[in-house]
Amino acid sequence: MLPDSTPIRGRFAPTPSGRLHLGNAATALLAWLQIRARGGTMVLRMEDLDKPRCKPEAADAILDELRWLGLDWDEGPDIGGAAGPYAQSERLSRYEAALAALDAKGLLYPCFCSRADLLSASSAPHGLSSEGPAYAGACRRLTRAEREERAARKTPSQRFALPPDRPWAFDDGIAGHVAFPPGAGGDFVIKRADGIVGYQLAVVVDDIAMGVTDVLRGWDLLDSTPRQLALYEALGAKPPRFAHAPLLLGSDGGRLSKRHGSVTLSGLRDHGVGPRTLVGYLAWLVGVADRPEPASPQELIPRFDLARVVREAVRLPGDWMASLRESQS
């Protein structure tokens, strides 16, 4: 556990691969409120490691949309700070140092399995919804000679070897007490065969280096937390306090998409929706506000209570665009 005297530091870490949608905005608002209500420091970090998917123009648009929403930050890619740089693509040497440290402890092993191999492993148990099927561990059991022979034919990915008998449990700020069995999610890729560092490692290394004490993120990342706890332990660092915000779903229970209307912030702006209207509506959806009435993020700070945030996915009302416009008047 982190000492009570540790300065409060939170972060919002979007991936600049597209426009922010309602779910992103709700999570960003909650993360901001959690830190501002406690007088902490807010960090903005761009998780842009996957260069084929991430675009500079998308990063610029995210900054603009967050500001339009009324959110601010104390450190970030546009304003700098002592813990910079604040784009993961500029922090590669830190990830390589962490990989070397984990490898020196014997916690990594090469994996030569193809995507087809993994999909055909029908006996492998299904694991994390956000990470795909749990890895059955085929390459963990290879001998040194077998690894050398395969490495001559194919560049491997690198996997982190989870302790096989270690259960994981933590107290989540929204979900409550959460427990996972040993090996939850299986050994995971920590560096891809194409050289791109895995999300799990990068986010842990960055949160350690940036002194992040509180992580509020989407519910879809709840079941990846055991992997990150294992990495914190392996790197000799204390984990932050976690809180996982409810997902926003379409009225049909599916993931937000164009069929549910203008679900991006840019689309809503084009339809004349104001930031105070949207902030108040999102606060009502996730349980922070009693009614969907216009409000700025700053106006929500005095009444913010993490205990009020709902613990289950939120479906947009079938007439949500009409109710949103109604709340604006």
User: Do 129 and 81 belong together in one domain?
Assistant: no
Average pLDDT, whole number, for the chain?
89
CA proximity to 245, closest of 2, 19, 34:
34
Q: 79-93, 116-130, 231-245 — which is least confidently predicted? A: 116-130
Does 241 fall in a domain? no
The CB density around residue 101, as the number of other CB atoms within 10 Å, is: 14
Q: Token pair 């991936």 is at which residue?
A: 15
One-character DSSP codes across 209-246: HTT--EEEEEGGGGGGHHHHHHHHHHTT----EEEEEP
Top mean pLDDT of 159-168, 169-178, 249-258 is at 169-178
Q: Percentage of the chain surpassing pLDDT 70?
A: 90
CA proximity to 61, closest of 16, 11, 27:
16
Does 84 fall in a domain? yes
CA proximity to 263, closest of 287, 240, 244, 247:
247
Residues belonging to the active site: 258
| Per-residue model confidence (pLDDT) at position 29 | 98
Q: Token pair 């809503």 is at which residue?
A: 268
84: pLDDT strictly greater than 60: yes
Average pLDDT over residues 149-162: 94
Total structural domains in the chain?
2
How many Å apart are CA 130 and CA 290, to the nearest integer? Answer: 31
- Domain range for residue 96? 92-200
Where among 164, 180, 200 does a domain terminate?
200
CA proximity to 265, closest of 87, 64, 76:
64
Q: Percentage of the chain surpassing pLDDT 90?
A: 72
Instruction: Please tell me the pTM assigned to this model.
Output: 0.91
Q: 4-13, 132-141, 219-228, 279-288 — which is least confidently predicted? A: 132-141
Does 217 fall in a domain? no
120: pLDDT strictly greater than 90: no
User: Do 138 and 68 belong together in one domain?
Assistant: no
Does 284 fall in a domain? yes
Average pLDDT over residues 280-291: 95
